Amino acid sequence: MGASASASAGAATRSEAPRSAPGAFLDAFRAELSKLLSLGSFRAVIAGTIALTAVATALLTQHAEFTVEADPSGETPHLLDFGVVGLGWTQVGFFLAGVLAATSEYVGGQIRTTLLAVPNRLVQKTAAMLALAVLVFPGALLAAATGVGVVLASTGTVLEALEPALTARVLCSAAGYLACMAVLSAAVGSLVRKTVPAAAILVVYLLVVSPLLQGLRWYFLPDMASYTFWYVISQPGAPPPFVGWIVVLAWTLGAAAVAALVFRRRDT
């Protein structure tokens, strides 16, 4: 009897042992992935953005002249540049996806349930941001590839005419930037905690303020910095691509850090 009781106590102790930090993070990450995949508005925005990118690319590249070889002078745009030009406008969809991912937690008090499951707020917020980036990247990659595919189809250009390494660089750079911007947008959504105000801030910046600032070439802003690495040929006077990436990552990580610290101090 004593041995049986001792064994039972040992089993109970093992079952109640706290999870390791990596284990707790992986559990939180899987939960956030599942949560986002089940969020209908998030899926609809991603799918709608991909579709709108195809339409915008078709409209913006009508009667366009381009080359399939890099032109250092920049006088003749590359086909890949036309392939991603639509994303310059439809990227707003990925910003909205980030806002929805963050603000949906505050609908119906879901954030309280989340915090009961993952009490460590920094772990929860980090897992949520990483899950968002992991899901947005393939969606953004598909959007960029769709734009290139539209240009190829509309002009009768064969895929083999494109340099594989250059194509991969442009598509992955565009997708990486959009994943970063989704995280930045989620940080804004987390700070504001309401969908409409957070979305309005980002949409006004992207569709009104940013176009007005184009002539100033303020490459310290994330969307303008991205032009240095997701086009084949950068504008004259633009910094090298690695500087553009530093700017984008600095904005993304900075916004995420601020959102995480504020989230840690709030009641909810």
CA–CA distance, 172 with 188 (Å, rounded to integer): 24
For the cut 50, the answer to whether the pLDDT of residue 208 exceeds it is yes
CA–CA distance, 262 with 264 (Å, rounded to integer): 5
Which of these ranges, 111-120, 123-132, 190-199, has the smallest mean pLDDT? 111-120
How confident is the model at residue 67, as a pLDDT? 72
CA–CA distance, 178 with 142 (Å, rounded to integer): 12
Which of these ranges, 65-69, 211-215, 233-237, 261-265, has the smallest mean pLDDT? 65-69
As a whole number of Å, the end-to-end CA separation of the chain is 48
Token pair in block for residue 229 = 């690495």
Token pair in block for residue 60 = 């913006």
Neighbours of 88 (CB within 10 A): 20
Is 59 within the bounds of a domain?
yes
How confident is the model at residue 228, as a pLDDT? 92
CA–CA distance, 24 with 18 (Å, rounded to integer): 9
Sign of CA dihedral 62, 67, 70, 74: negative
Quickly state the pLDDT bin for 206 (edges 50, 70, 90). Answer: very high
Q: Which residue has the tokens 């590839």?
A: 145
Q: Which amino acid is at 119?
A: P
Is 36 within the bounds of a domain?
yes
Is 176 within the bounds of a domain?
yes
How confident is the model at residue 126, as a pLDDT? 95
Is 141 within the bounds of a domain?
yes
Sign of CA dihedral 27, 29, 32, 33: negative
Which of these ranges, 14-28, 38-52, 60-74, 249-263, has the smallest mean pLDDT? 60-74
Report helix, strand or coil for 86. coil
How confident is the model at residue 70, as a pLDDT? 61
**For a pLDDT cut of 70, what percent of the chain falls above it?**
90
How confident is the model at residue 266, as a pLDDT? 84
CA–CA distance, 21 with 24 (Å, rounded to integer): 5
Is 116 within the bounds of a domain?
yes
CA–CA distance, 53 with 90 (Å, rounded to integer): 6
Most confident by average pLDDT, 17-21, 23-27, 30-34, 108-112: 30-34
Is 9 within the bounds of a domain?
no
Report helix, strand or coil for 78. strand
How confident is the model at residue 166, as a pLDDT? 92
Name every residue whose Cβ is closer than 8 Å to that of residue 85 and which is 6 or more positions away in sequence.
57, 60, 61, 147
Q: Looking at the 3D structure of the chain, how many domains does it have?
A: 1
Please tell me the total number of residues recorded for the chain in this structure: 268
pTM of the model: 0.88
CA–CA distance, 68 with 88 (Å, rounded to integer): 20
Confirm if 123 and 24 have CB atoms less than 8 A apart.
yes
Mean pLDDT of 235-239: 85
Mark 214-230 as b/e (b = at least 16 C-beta within 10 Å).
Answer: eeeeebebbbbbbbbbb
Is 5 within the bounds of a domain?
no
Is 3 within the bounds of a domain?
no
Mean pLDDT of 149-176: 91
The gap from C-alpha 208 to its chain's centroid, in whole angstroms, comes to: 21
**Domain with 65 in it:** 20-265
CA–CA distance, 235 with 94 (Å, rounded to integer): 25
Mean pLDDT of 48-54: 96
For the cut 50, the answer to whether the pLDDT of residue 177 exceeds it is yes
